[in-house]
Amino acid sequence: MWIIIISIFVVILNGMCQIVLKISANKSKLYSKSSMRIKILHVYSLMLLGYSGFISITILTTYILKFLPLKTMTIIMSFNYVVTILLAIIILKEKVTKNKLVGTFIIIIGVLVYNV
C-alpha cells in the first residue's frame, strides 16, 4: 500500500515540475537585456528546481519498480498527463479546450486498454 502512495506522490511531483518549468519559460520572456542578473537568479533557479525534481522522480520511479510490476506502474504513470493538465488549469489558469479533453481521454483509454 505504501508503494502506491509513493507512486501517486511521484505523479503529482512530475506535474509540479512540469508547471515550474513552464513558469520559468514564461518568465524568461518578461526580462529585458538590462535586467539580466535578475533573470539569471530567478528564471534559472526555477529551471534548476524543475530539473532537480525530474532527477528525484527518476530515482523514485526506479525504486518503485523494485516493488510494483511494470504494468501497474505504467497505469499509474499515465495519470501524469491528467495531473499536469489539472495543475495547469489551477495554477496557470489555462483554459480547458476540447482538444485537451479529447487527448487526455484517449491517453487514459489507450493505457487502460493496453494494460488491462
First CA to last CA across the chain, in angstroms? 20
pLDDT at 67: 92
Sign (positive/negative) of CA torsion 108, 110, 115, 116?
Answer: positive
Distance (Å, whole) CA 26 – CA 30: 7
- Place 54 in a pLDDT band, splitting at 50, 70 and 90: very high
Q: Is 105 exposed, middle or buried (CB count within 10 Å of its CB: 0-12, 13-18, 19+)?
A: exposed
pLDDT in tens, 79-115: 888 899 889 989 988 888 899 889 888 988 887 787 7
pLDDT in tens, 6-37: 999 999 999 999 999 888 887 766 555 556 66
Task: Report the residue count for the chain.
Answer: 116
Q: Is 60 exposed, middle or buried (CB count within 10 Å of its CB: 0-12, 13-18, 19+)?
A: middle
Nearest to 74, CA basis, from 20, 21, 112: 112
The structure's pTM equals 0.79
Residue for grid cell 522522480: 57
pLDDT at 114: 79
- Cβ-count burial 2-18 (b if 16+ within 10 Å, e if not): ebeeebeebbbbbbbbb
